[in-house]
Chains A and B, each alone.
Chain A
Amino acid sequence: MTRTLVIILAAVSLGTCLAAPLFFITGRMDAAGYKDLLLAATLGWFVCAAFLVARRKRR
Protein backbone atom coordinates (compact mmCIF):
# COMPACT_ATOMS: atom_id res chain seq x y z
CA MET A 1 0.00 0.00 0.00
CA THR A 2 2.76 2.45 1.04
CA ARG A 3 4.84 1.39 -1.94
CA THR A 4 1.98 2.06 -4.34
CA LEU A 5 1.47 5.49 -2.80
CA VAL A 6 5.17 6.31 -3.15
CA ILE A 7 5.17 5.15 -6.78
CA ILE A 8 2.21 7.46 -7.45
CA LEU A 9 3.98 10.35 -5.70
CA ALA A 10 7.14 9.66 -7.73
CA ALA A 11 5.11 9.73 -10.95
CA VAL A 12 3.43 12.98 -9.88
CA SER A 13 6.87 14.49 -9.12
CA LEU A 14 8.13 13.53 -12.59
CA GLY A 15 4.96 14.85 -14.18
CA THR A 16 5.42 18.13 -12.30
CA CYS A 17 9.00 18.36 -13.57
CA LEU A 18 7.61 18.15 -17.11
CA ALA A 19 4.67 20.44 -16.48
CA ALA A 20 6.77 23.22 -14.91
CA PRO A 21 8.48 24.35 -18.17
CA LEU A 22 5.12 24.20 -19.97
CA PHE A 23 3.67 26.60 -17.38
CA PHE A 24 6.67 28.84 -18.04
CA ILE A 25 6.37 28.69 -21.83
CA THR A 26 2.68 29.47 -21.76
CA GLY A 27 3.31 32.44 -19.47
CA ARG A 28 1.47 31.06 -16.46
CA MET A 29 4.65 31.16 -14.41
CA ASP A 30 7.78 33.31 -14.43
CA ALA A 31 11.31 31.89 -14.76
CA ALA A 32 12.00 31.96 -11.02
CA GLY A 33 8.71 30.24 -10.22
CA TYR A 34 9.37 27.55 -12.84
CA LYS A 35 12.82 26.84 -11.41
CA ASP A 36 11.47 26.67 -7.86
CA LEU A 37 8.70 24.30 -8.90
CA LEU A 38 11.23 22.15 -10.77
CA LEU A 39 13.44 22.01 -7.67
CA ALA A 40 10.52 21.13 -5.41
CA ALA A 41 9.41 18.35 -7.77
CA THR A 42 13.02 17.17 -7.94
CA LEU A 43 13.21 16.90 -4.16
CA GLY A 44 9.92 15.01 -4.19
CA TRP A 45 11.34 12.59 -6.75
CA PHE A 46 14.53 12.06 -4.73
CA VAL A 47 12.60 11.28 -1.55
CA CYS A 48 10.39 8.77 -3.39
CA ALA A 49 13.33 7.19 -5.27
CA ALA A 50 15.35 6.86 -2.05
CA PHE A 51 12.40 5.19 -0.33
CA LEU A 52 11.83 2.75 -3.21
CA VAL A 53 15.52 1.87 -3.48
CA ALA A 54 15.81 1.30 0.29
CA ARG A 55 12.70 -0.84 0.21
CA ARG A 56 13.93 -2.91 -2.74
CA LYS A 57 17.21 -3.51 -0.90
CA ARG A 58 15.42 -4.72 2.24
CA ARG A 59 13.48 -7.24 0.19
Chain B
Amino acid sequence: MPSRLSQLMSRLDKLYEYDREPVVAAHFKPGSQFAGLLAGEHVAGTEFVIGAFFVLHGVSFANLIWGLLIGNLLAVLSWTFICAPIATQTRLTLYWYLQRIAGPGLTAVYNIMNAVLYCILAGVMIAVSATAIGLALGISTPALTDILPNSLGWVLLTFAIGIAFVILAVLGFEKLSRFGQACSPWIIVIFIAGALATLPRLGVHANFDNFREIAETRIWNGIASSGQERFGLAHIIAFAWFCCLAMHIGLSDMALFRYARRWTYGLYSAFGMYPGHMLAWICSGIMVAGINRQMDPGRMAFEAAGIAGCIAVVLASWTTANPTLYRAGLALQCVTRDLPRWKATVAVGLFTTILSCFPLIFMKLLDYVAIYGLVLMPIGAIVVAEHWLFPLLGIEQYQCQKRGAAMNWRALVVWGATLLVCALLPIHLYFRWLPGYFVALVSYTVWSRLLHKAPGRTEGGAA
Protein backbone atom coordinates (compact mmCIF):
# COMPACT_ATOMS: atom_id res chain seq x y z
CA MET B 1 0.00 0.00 0.00
CA PRO B 2 2.71 2.53 0.96
CA SER B 3 4.60 1.66 -2.25
CA ARG B 4 1.48 2.28 -4.38
CA LEU B 5 0.96 5.58 -2.61
CA SER B 6 4.56 6.58 -3.16
CA GLN B 7 4.24 5.65 -6.86
CA LEU B 8 1.11 7.74 -7.12
CA MET B 9 2.74 10.67 -5.35
CA SER B 10 5.82 10.40 -7.51
CA ARG B 11 3.62 10.73 -10.63
CA LEU B 12 1.63 13.62 -9.18
CA ASP B 13 4.86 15.34 -8.15
CA LYS B 14 6.20 15.03 -11.69
CA LEU B 15 3.03 16.66 -12.96
CA TYR B 16 3.58 19.66 -10.74
CA GLU B 17 7.38 19.54 -10.88
CA TYR B 18 7.56 22.86 -12.64
CA ASP B 19 5.82 24.57 -9.72
CA ARG B 20 7.82 22.90 -6.95
CA GLU B 21 10.20 25.78 -6.23
CA PRO B 22 8.95 29.07 -4.80
CA VAL B 23 8.63 31.76 -7.45
CA VAL B 24 11.66 34.06 -7.49
CA ALA B 25 11.47 37.86 -7.77
CA ALA B 26 12.64 37.82 -11.40
CA HIS B 27 9.42 36.01 -12.37
CA PHE B 28 6.99 38.32 -10.60
CA LYS B 29 4.30 39.70 -12.91
CA PRO B 30 3.03 43.27 -13.18
CA GLY B 31 -0.44 44.21 -11.98
CA SER B 32 -1.73 44.82 -15.52
CA GLN B 33 -1.24 41.12 -16.32
CA PHE B 34 -3.28 40.15 -13.26
CA ALA B 35 -6.05 42.56 -14.28
CA GLY B 36 -6.23 41.12 -17.82
CA LEU B 37 -5.99 37.50 -16.73
CA LEU B 38 -8.60 37.79 -13.99
CA ALA B 39 -11.03 39.76 -16.18
CA GLY B 40 -10.87 37.06 -18.87
CA GLU B 41 -10.87 34.08 -16.52
CA HIS B 42 -14.20 34.94 -14.94
CA VAL B 43 -16.32 35.07 -18.08
CA ALA B 44 -17.31 31.52 -19.05
CA GLY B 45 -20.27 29.74 -20.57
CA THR B 46 -21.81 29.31 -17.13
CA GLU B 47 -22.30 33.10 -16.90
CA PHE B 48 -25.08 32.74 -19.51
CA VAL B 49 -26.87 30.44 -17.06
CA ILE B 50 -26.15 32.09 -13.69
CA GLY B 51 -27.42 35.58 -14.55
CA ALA B 52 -30.49 34.07 -16.17
CA PHE B 53 -31.22 31.99 -13.07
CA PHE B 54 -31.22 35.12 -10.90
CA VAL B 55 -34.15 36.38 -13.01
CA LEU B 56 -35.93 33.02 -12.75
CA HIS B 57 -35.43 33.04 -8.99
CA GLY B 58 -37.35 36.30 -8.73
CA VAL B 59 -34.57 38.58 -7.57
CA SER B 60 -35.59 42.23 -7.38
CA PHE B 61 -33.52 44.86 -9.21
CA ALA B 62 -32.31 46.55 -6.01
CA ASN B 63 -31.40 43.21 -4.40
CA LEU B 64 -29.50 42.19 -7.52
CA ILE B 65 -27.40 45.34 -7.69
CA TRP B 66 -26.69 45.56 -3.95
CA GLY B 67 -26.20 41.82 -3.66
CA LEU B 68 -23.68 41.71 -6.50
CA LEU B 69 -21.85 44.81 -5.26
CA ILE B 70 -21.51 43.45 -1.71
CA GLY B 71 -20.99 39.78 -2.57
CA ASN B 72 -18.33 40.50 -5.17
CA LEU B 73 -16.63 42.90 -2.74
CA LEU B 74 -16.49 40.11 -0.14
CA ALA B 75 -14.96 37.84 -2.79
CA VAL B 76 -12.34 40.47 -3.68
CA LEU B 77 -11.51 40.92 0.02
CA SER B 78 -11.18 37.15 0.43
CA TRP B 79 -8.61 37.10 -2.36
CA THR B 80 -6.85 40.15 -0.94
CA PHE B 81 -6.70 39.25 2.73
CA ILE B 82 -6.55 35.45 2.65
CA CYS B 83 -5.37 33.99 -0.65
CA ALA B 84 -2.89 36.60 -1.93
CA PRO B 85 -1.02 37.09 1.40
CA ILE B 86 -0.45 33.33 1.85
CA ALA B 87 0.58 33.04 -1.81
CA THR B 88 3.07 35.93 -1.62
CA GLN B 89 4.52 34.69 1.68
CA THR B 90 5.04 31.11 0.51
CA ARG B 91 5.40 31.68 -3.27
CA LEU B 92 4.05 28.14 -3.68
CA THR B 93 1.00 26.57 -5.29
CA LEU B 94 -1.62 25.09 -2.98
CA TYR B 95 -0.52 21.64 -4.17
CA TRP B 96 3.00 21.98 -2.76
CA TYR B 97 2.00 23.92 0.35
CA LEU B 98 -0.65 21.33 1.15
CA GLN B 99 1.97 18.60 0.90
CA ARG B 100 3.88 20.26 3.75
CA ILE B 101 0.75 20.65 5.86
CA ALA B 102 -1.36 17.62 5.11
CA GLY B 103 1.05 15.14 3.57
CA PRO B 104 1.11 13.62 0.09
CA GLY B 105 -1.82 11.26 0.79
CA LEU B 106 -4.32 13.99 1.57
CA THR B 107 -2.99 16.10 -1.28
CA ALA B 108 -3.74 13.21 -3.65
CA VAL B 109 -7.28 12.89 -2.27
CA TYR B 110 -7.76 16.65 -2.68
CA ASN B 111 -6.48 16.55 -6.26
CA ILE B 112 -8.73 13.70 -7.30
CA MET B 113 -11.78 15.29 -5.68
CA ASN B 114 -10.96 18.56 -7.42
CA ALA B 115 -10.69 16.74 -10.76
CA VAL B 116 -14.07 15.03 -10.32
CA LEU B 117 -15.76 18.31 -9.36
CA TYR B 118 -14.15 20.02 -12.35
CA CYS B 119 -15.45 17.25 -14.64
CA ILE B 120 -19.00 17.99 -13.56
CA LEU B 121 -18.41 21.65 -14.37
CA ALA B 122 -17.08 20.66 -17.79
CA GLY B 123 -20.27 18.61 -18.24
CA VAL B 124 -22.30 21.78 -17.63
CA MET B 125 -20.24 23.54 -20.30
CA ILE B 126 -21.00 20.79 -22.82
CA ALA B 127 -24.72 21.02 -22.03
CA VAL B 128 -24.66 24.83 -22.38
CA SER B 129 -22.93 24.49 -25.78
CA ALA B 130 -25.54 21.93 -26.82
CA THR B 131 -28.30 24.51 -26.31
CA ALA B 132 -26.58 26.75 -28.89
CA ILE B 133 -25.74 24.08 -31.47
CA GLY B 134 -29.08 22.31 -30.92
CA LEU B 135 -30.82 25.47 -32.03
CA ALA B 136 -29.33 25.16 -35.52
CA LEU B 137 -30.25 21.47 -35.65
CA GLY B 138 -33.77 21.91 -34.33
CA ILE B 139 -33.09 19.96 -31.13
CA SER B 140 -35.02 21.40 -28.21
CA THR B 141 -33.39 22.22 -24.89
CA PRO B 142 -34.71 20.26 -21.89
CA ALA B 143 -37.19 22.00 -19.62
CA LEU B 144 -36.20 23.61 -16.36
CA THR B 145 -37.66 20.74 -14.34
CA ASP B 146 -36.15 17.92 -16.43
CA ILE B 147 -33.76 15.56 -14.72
CA LEU B 148 -33.31 13.01 -17.48
CA PRO B 149 -32.58 13.75 -21.18
CA ASN B 150 -35.76 14.76 -23.00
CA SER B 151 -34.89 13.30 -26.40
CA LEU B 152 -32.49 11.05 -28.25
CA GLY B 153 -31.42 14.11 -30.22
CA TRP B 154 -30.24 15.83 -27.02
CA VAL B 155 -28.23 12.75 -26.00
CA LEU B 156 -26.61 12.45 -29.44
CA LEU B 157 -25.87 16.17 -29.52
CA THR B 158 -24.21 16.28 -26.09
CA PHE B 159 -22.20 13.19 -27.03
CA ALA B 160 -21.06 14.77 -30.30
CA ILE B 161 -20.01 17.98 -28.54
CA GLY B 162 -18.41 16.04 -25.69
CA ILE B 163 -16.40 13.97 -28.17
CA ALA B 164 -15.32 17.12 -30.03
CA PHE B 165 -14.21 18.75 -26.75
CA VAL B 166 -12.37 15.58 -25.72
CA ILE B 167 -10.57 15.28 -29.07
CA LEU B 168 -9.33 18.85 -28.74
CA ALA B 169 -8.24 18.18 -25.14
CA VAL B 170 -6.50 14.93 -26.14
CA LEU B 171 -4.63 16.58 -28.96
CA GLY B 172 -3.60 19.24 -26.47
CA PHE B 173 -4.25 22.00 -28.96
CA GLU B 174 -2.19 24.52 -27.09
CA LYS B 175 -2.53 27.13 -29.82
CA LEU B 176 -6.28 26.74 -29.95
CA SER B 177 -6.46 26.97 -26.19
CA ARG B 178 -4.43 30.19 -26.27
CA PHE B 179 -6.68 31.47 -29.02
CA GLY B 180 -9.65 30.75 -26.78
CA GLN B 181 -8.11 32.78 -23.97
CA ALA B 182 -7.45 35.63 -26.38
CA CYS B 183 -11.16 35.65 -27.21
CA SER B 184 -12.26 36.61 -23.70
CA PRO B 185 -12.54 40.39 -24.42
CA TRP B 186 -14.78 39.55 -27.37
CA ILE B 187 -16.97 37.30 -25.21
CA ILE B 188 -17.52 40.13 -22.70
CA VAL B 189 -18.41 42.46 -25.58
CA ILE B 190 -20.95 39.93 -26.94
CA PHE B 191 -22.60 39.80 -23.50
CA ILE B 192 -22.94 43.59 -23.54
CA ALA B 193 -24.07 43.72 -27.18
CA GLY B 194 -26.68 41.00 -26.63
CA ALA B 195 -28.09 42.75 -23.56
CA LEU B 196 -28.21 46.14 -25.29
CA ALA B 197 -29.98 44.70 -28.33
CA THR B 198 -32.56 42.98 -26.10
CA LEU B 199 -33.58 46.22 -24.36
CA PRO B 200 -35.89 47.57 -27.13
CA ARG B 201 -37.81 44.26 -27.11
CA LEU B 202 -38.45 44.78 -23.39
CA GLY B 203 -39.67 48.32 -24.01
CA VAL B 204 -36.58 50.35 -23.05
CA HIS B 205 -36.38 53.66 -24.93
CA ALA B 206 -33.36 54.59 -27.04
CA ASN B 207 -32.29 57.19 -24.45
CA PHE B 208 -32.59 54.64 -21.60
CA ASP B 209 -34.81 57.02 -19.59
CA ASN B 210 -37.16 54.18 -18.57
CA PHE B 211 -34.47 51.54 -18.05
CA ARG B 212 -34.92 51.37 -14.29
CA GLU B 213 -38.68 51.04 -14.57
CA ILE B 214 -38.36 48.19 -17.11
CA ALA B 215 -35.64 46.53 -15.05
CA GLU B 216 -37.87 46.55 -11.98
CA THR B 217 -41.04 45.43 -13.72
CA ARG B 218 -40.02 43.20 -16.62
CA ILE B 219 -36.58 41.79 -15.78
CA TRP B 220 -35.78 41.60 -12.07
CA ASN B 221 -39.36 42.04 -10.93
CA GLY B 222 -39.15 39.98 -7.74
CA ILE B 223 -41.45 37.23 -9.05
CA ALA B 224 -39.95 33.76 -9.18
CA SER B 225 -40.74 31.46 -12.11
CA SER B 226 -42.85 28.41 -11.42
CA GLY B 227 -41.02 25.84 -9.30
CA GLN B 228 -38.13 28.20 -8.48
CA GLU B 229 -37.29 29.36 -4.99
CA ARG B 230 -37.45 33.14 -4.52
CA PHE B 231 -34.04 34.70 -3.84
CA GLY B 232 -33.47 37.74 -1.64
CA LEU B 233 -30.51 40.02 -0.99
CA ALA B 234 -28.74 37.47 1.25
CA HIS B 235 -28.87 34.78 -1.45
CA ILE B 236 -27.26 37.07 -4.03
CA ILE B 237 -24.57 38.26 -1.61
CA ALA B 238 -23.80 34.67 -0.62
CA PHE B 239 -23.76 33.41 -4.22
CA ALA B 240 -21.51 36.20 -5.52
CA TRP B 241 -19.14 35.53 -2.60
CA PHE B 242 -18.97 31.74 -2.81
CA CYS B 243 -19.09 31.47 -6.59
CA CYS B 244 -15.29 31.30 -6.61
CA LEU B 245 -14.94 29.88 -3.10
CA ALA B 246 -12.50 27.17 -4.17
CA MET B 247 -10.26 29.86 -5.65
CA HIS B 248 -10.12 32.45 -2.85
CA ILE B 249 -11.09 30.86 0.49
CA GLY B 250 -10.16 27.42 -0.88
CA LEU B 251 -6.79 28.94 -1.92
CA SER B 252 -6.43 27.31 -5.34
CA ASP B 253 -5.57 30.76 -6.75
CA MET B 254 -2.30 30.62 -4.79
CA ALA B 255 -1.02 29.25 -8.12
CA LEU B 256 -1.74 32.64 -9.64
CA PHE B 257 -0.93 35.05 -6.81
CA ARG B 258 2.46 33.52 -6.04
CA TYR B 259 3.61 35.60 -9.02
CA ALA B 260 2.28 38.82 -7.45
CA ARG B 261 4.75 41.44 -6.27
CA ARG B 262 2.63 42.27 -3.24
CA TRP B 263 -0.36 40.75 -1.45
CA THR B 264 -2.38 43.83 -2.43
CA TYR B 265 -2.49 42.40 -5.96
CA GLY B 266 -5.46 40.44 -4.63
CA LEU B 267 -7.43 43.62 -5.30
CA TYR B 268 -6.98 42.96 -9.03
CA SER B 269 -9.57 40.21 -8.63
CA ALA B 270 -12.08 43.09 -8.78
CA PHE B 271 -11.51 43.04 -12.57
CA GLY B 272 -12.86 39.49 -12.63
CA MET B 273 -15.73 40.18 -10.26
CA TYR B 274 -17.15 43.48 -11.55
CA PRO B 275 -16.51 43.73 -15.33
CA GLY B 276 -16.50 39.93 -15.34
CA HIS B 277 -19.15 38.27 -13.17
CA MET B 278 -21.35 41.22 -12.29
CA LEU B 279 -21.60 42.63 -15.81
CA ALA B 280 -22.04 39.23 -17.46
CA TRP B 281 -24.76 38.19 -14.97
CA ILE B 282 -26.67 41.42 -15.47
CA CYS B 283 -26.41 41.03 -19.27
CA SER B 284 -27.58 37.41 -19.26
CA GLY B 285 -30.47 38.42 -16.97
CA ILE B 286 -31.60 40.98 -19.55
CA MET B 287 -31.22 38.43 -22.36
CA VAL B 288 -33.33 35.76 -20.62
CA ALA B 289 -36.07 38.31 -19.96
CA GLY B 290 -36.06 38.90 -23.72
CA ILE B 291 -37.09 35.28 -24.38
CA ASN B 292 -39.84 35.18 -21.74
CA ARG B 293 -37.66 33.67 -19.02
CA GLN B 294 -36.91 30.36 -20.72
CA MET B 295 -33.72 28.69 -19.52
CA ASP B 296 -32.18 28.14 -22.94
CA PRO B 297 -28.75 29.82 -23.16
CA GLY B 298 -28.37 29.04 -26.87
CA ARG B 299 -31.70 30.55 -27.88
CA MET B 300 -31.13 33.46 -25.51
CA ALA B 301 -27.81 34.31 -27.16
CA PHE B 302 -29.16 33.74 -30.68
CA GLU B 303 -32.17 36.00 -30.20
CA ALA B 304 -29.96 38.68 -28.65
CA ALA B 305 -26.86 38.52 -30.85
CA GLY B 306 -27.56 36.17 -33.76
CA ILE B 307 -24.94 33.66 -34.91
CA ALA B 308 -22.25 35.62 -33.06
CA GLY B 309 -24.18 34.96 -29.84
CA CYS B 310 -24.24 31.21 -30.49
CA ILE B 311 -20.50 31.25 -31.24
CA ALA B 312 -19.97 33.09 -27.94
CA VAL B 313 -21.89 30.42 -26.01
CA VAL B 314 -19.89 27.59 -27.57
CA LEU B 315 -16.55 29.37 -27.30
CA ALA B 316 -17.10 30.53 -23.71
CA SER B 317 -18.02 26.95 -22.75
CA TRP B 318 -15.20 25.30 -24.65
CA THR B 319 -12.48 27.63 -23.30
CA THR B 320 -13.43 26.53 -19.77
CA ALA B 321 -14.09 22.86 -20.53
CA ASN B 322 -10.89 22.29 -22.51
CA PRO B 323 -8.29 22.93 -19.76
CA THR B 324 -10.61 21.24 -17.27
CA LEU B 325 -10.70 18.00 -19.26
CA TYR B 326 -6.98 18.22 -19.86
CA ARG B 327 -6.19 18.66 -16.15
CA ALA B 328 -8.64 15.98 -15.07
CA GLY B 329 -7.08 13.61 -17.59
CA LEU B 330 -3.64 14.28 -16.14
CA ALA B 331 -4.96 13.67 -12.60
CA LEU B 332 -6.49 10.34 -13.67
CA GLN B 333 -3.27 9.39 -15.42
CA CYS B 334 -1.45 9.88 -12.13
CA VAL B 335 -3.70 7.59 -10.12
CA THR B 336 -3.71 4.77 -12.67
CA ARG B 337 -0.79 2.60 -13.55
CA ASP B 338 0.80 3.29 -16.94
CA LEU B 339 -2.36 4.64 -18.53
CA PRO B 340 -1.40 6.91 -21.45
CA ARG B 341 -2.55 10.50 -21.10
CA TRP B 342 -4.83 10.31 -24.12
CA LYS B 343 -6.63 7.28 -22.71
CA ALA B 344 -6.99 8.99 -19.33
CA THR B 345 -8.41 12.11 -21.01
CA VAL B 346 -10.82 10.01 -23.08
CA ALA B 347 -12.00 8.20 -19.91
CA VAL B 348 -12.52 11.49 -18.08
CA GLY B 349 -14.17 12.99 -21.16
CA LEU B 350 -16.55 10.04 -21.48
CA PHE B 351 -17.58 10.41 -17.83
CA THR B 352 -18.07 14.15 -18.36
CA THR B 353 -20.04 13.62 -21.58
CA ILE B 354 -22.39 11.13 -19.93
CA LEU B 355 -22.99 13.66 -17.13
CA SER B 356 -23.71 16.39 -19.66
CA CYS B 357 -26.65 14.40 -21.12
CA PHE B 358 -28.55 14.91 -17.87
CA PRO B 359 -30.22 18.33 -17.82
CA LEU B 360 -30.20 18.20 -14.02
CA ILE B 361 -26.56 19.25 -13.87
CA PHE B 362 -27.04 22.54 -15.63
CA MET B 363 -30.58 23.21 -14.44
CA LYS B 364 -29.21 22.95 -10.87
CA LEU B 365 -26.02 24.84 -11.64
CA LEU B 366 -26.34 27.34 -8.78
CA ASP B 367 -26.64 24.56 -6.20
CA TYR B 368 -23.73 22.72 -7.79
CA VAL B 369 -21.52 25.82 -7.60
CA ALA B 370 -22.38 26.04 -3.88
CA ILE B 371 -21.51 22.37 -3.29
CA TYR B 372 -18.31 22.61 -5.30
CA GLY B 373 -16.97 25.45 -3.14
CA LEU B 374 -18.25 23.87 0.06
CA VAL B 375 -16.49 20.56 -0.51
CA LEU B 376 -13.06 22.16 -1.00
CA MET B 377 -13.45 24.97 1.55
CA PRO B 378 -12.24 23.04 4.66
CA ILE B 379 -8.82 22.58 3.06
CA GLY B 380 -8.51 26.37 2.84
CA ALA B 381 -9.40 26.66 6.54
CA ILE B 382 -6.80 24.04 7.48
CA VAL B 383 -4.09 25.88 5.53
CA VAL B 384 -5.05 29.23 7.14
CA ALA B 385 -4.92 27.64 10.60
CA GLU B 386 -1.50 26.13 9.97
CA HIS B 387 -0.11 29.24 8.25
CA TRP B 388 -1.34 32.00 10.57
CA LEU B 389 -2.90 30.57 13.75
CA PHE B 390 -0.28 27.96 14.61
CA PRO B 391 2.61 30.47 14.94
CA LEU B 392 0.37 32.78 17.00
CA LEU B 393 -0.57 29.99 19.41
CA GLY B 394 2.91 28.51 19.56
CA ILE B 395 1.91 25.29 17.78
CA GLU B 396 4.55 23.62 15.67
CA GLN B 397 3.90 24.09 11.92
CA TYR B 398 4.27 21.45 9.21
CA GLN B 399 4.41 18.55 11.66
CA CYS B 400 3.28 16.18 8.93
CA GLN B 401 6.24 17.06 6.70
CA LYS B 402 8.74 17.06 9.56
CA ARG B 403 7.67 13.57 10.64
CA GLY B 404 7.58 12.26 7.08
CA ALA B 405 3.94 11.20 7.48
CA ALA B 406 2.02 10.24 4.35
CA MET B 407 -1.27 11.55 5.64
CA ASN B 408 -2.31 14.21 8.11
CA TRP B 409 -5.20 12.26 9.64
CA ARG B 410 -6.30 15.24 11.72
CA ALA B 411 -6.79 17.27 8.56
CA LEU B 412 -8.66 14.43 6.87
CA VAL B 413 -10.99 13.97 9.87
CA VAL B 414 -11.58 17.74 10.17
CA TRP B 415 -12.33 17.90 6.43
CA GLY B 416 -14.85 15.05 6.63
CA ALA B 417 -16.42 16.24 9.90
CA THR B 418 -16.81 19.77 8.56
CA LEU B 419 -18.66 18.49 5.51
CA LEU B 420 -20.88 16.39 7.78
CA VAL B 421 -21.66 19.43 9.95
CA CYS B 422 -22.41 21.48 6.82
CA ALA B 423 -24.74 18.76 5.54
CA LEU B 424 -26.66 18.74 8.82
CA LEU B 425 -26.90 22.51 9.33
CA PRO B 426 -30.57 23.55 9.18
CA ILE B 427 -29.91 26.56 6.95
CA HIS B 428 -30.00 27.23 3.20
CA LEU B 429 -27.26 25.52 1.21
CA TYR B 430 -25.78 28.89 0.20
CA PHE B 431 -25.07 29.91 3.80
CA ARG B 432 -23.60 26.64 5.09
CA TRP B 433 -20.02 27.19 4.01
CA LEU B 434 -19.40 30.15 6.34
CA PRO B 435 -20.12 28.41 9.69
CA GLY B 436 -18.45 25.35 8.17
CA TYR B 437 -15.31 27.37 7.57
CA PHE B 438 -15.09 28.37 11.23
CA VAL B 439 -15.86 24.81 12.34
CA ALA B 440 -12.87 23.60 10.29
CA LEU B 441 -10.61 26.45 11.40
CA VAL B 442 -11.37 26.13 15.12
CA SER B 443 -11.53 22.33 15.31
CA TYR B 444 -8.25 21.84 13.47
CA THR B 445 -6.49 24.48 15.58
CA VAL B 446 -7.88 23.25 18.92
CA TRP B 447 -7.15 19.61 18.09
CA SER B 448 -3.60 20.46 17.06
CA ARG B 449 -3.14 22.54 20.21
CA LEU B 450 -4.34 19.67 22.41
CA LEU B 451 -2.00 17.22 20.71
CA HIS B 452 0.82 19.71 20.93
CA LYS B 453 0.46 19.77 24.71
CA ALA B 454 0.69 16.03 25.00
CA PRO B 455 4.33 15.06 24.45
CA GLY B 456 5.04 11.74 22.87
CA ARG B 457 1.95 11.69 20.69
CA THR B 458 2.68 11.74 17.01
CA GLU B 459 0.84 11.76 13.69
CA GLY B 460 -0.26 8.37 12.50
CA GLY B 461 0.20 6.85 9.10
CA ALA B 462 3.91 7.16 8.53
CA ALA B 463 4.92 6.58 4.95
Contact = CB atoms under 8 A, between A and B. Distances in A.
Interface of A: 14, 17-18, 20-22, 24-27, 31, 34-36, 38-39, 41-42, 45-46, 49-50, 52-54, 56-57
Given A31-B197, A36-B306, A42-B190, 10 more contacts: A18-B193, A20-B197, A21-B192, A25-B197, A35-B305, A42-B308, A45-B186, A49-B183, A57-B175, A57-B178
Contacts of A35: 305-308
A38 B308 contact: yes
B163 interface: no
A45 B308 CA distance: 11
B189 interface: yes
A51 to B, nearest CB: 10
29 contacts: A14-B186, A14-B189, A17-B186, A17-B193, A18-B193, A20-B197, A21-B192, A21-B193, A21-B197, A24-B196, A24-B200, A25-B197, A26-B206, A31-B197, A34-B197, A34-B306, A35-B307, A38-B305, A38-B306, A38-B308, A41-B308, A42-B190, A42-B311, A46-B183, A46-B186, A49-B179, A49-B186, A52-B182, A57-B178
Given A34-B197, A39-B308, A49-B182, A18 B189 contact: yes
Contacts of B305: 35, 38
Interface in B227-244: none
A25 B175 contact: no
B178 A20 contact: no
Contacts of A45: 183, 186
B306 A21 contact: no
A53 to B, nearest CB: 5
Interface in B184-207: 185-186, 189-190, 192-194, 196-197, 199-200, 206
Contacts of A56: 178
Given A38-B305, A53-B178, A14 B196 contact: no
A25 B186 contact: no
Contacts of A52: 182
Given A35-B307, A42-B308, A53 B182 contact: yes
A38 to B, nearest CB: 5
- Most B C-beta atoms less than 10 A away, residue of A22, A27, A45: A45
Given A35-B308, A38-B308, A49-B186, A25 B206 contact: yes
Interface residues of B, number: 22
Contacts of B185: 14
A26 B190 CA distance: 18
B159 to A, nearest CB: 27
A53 B199 contact: no
Contact of B196 (A22, A27, A41, A53): A22
Contacts of B175: 53-54, 57
Nearest to B178: A53
Given A24-B197, A25-B206, A39 B307 contact: yes
Nearest to B181: A53
Contacts of B311: 42
Contacts of A39: 306-308
A25 B193 contact: no
Contact of A50 (B179, B192, B193): B179
Contacts of B308: 17, 35, 38-39, 41-42
Nearest to B302: A35
Contacts of B178: 53, 56-57
- Most B C-beta atoms less than 10 A away, residue of A18, A36, A38, A46: A38
A31 B194 CA distance: 11
Nearest to A48: B182
Contacts of A21: 192-194, 196-197
B200 A18 contact: no
A53 B206 contact: no
Contact of A53 (B179, B194, B197): B179
Contacts of B196: 21-22, 24-25
Contacts of A54: 175
A55 B305 CA distance: 30
- Most A C-beta atoms less than 10 A away, residue of B193, B206, B305, B306: B193
A54 B176 CA distance: 10
Nearest to B193: A21
Contacts of A20: 193, 197
- Most A C-beta atoms less than 10 A away, residue of B179, B183, B186: B186
A1 B305 CA distance: 33
A20 B308 CA distance: 12
Contacts of B182: 49, 52-53
A16 B206 CA distance: 18
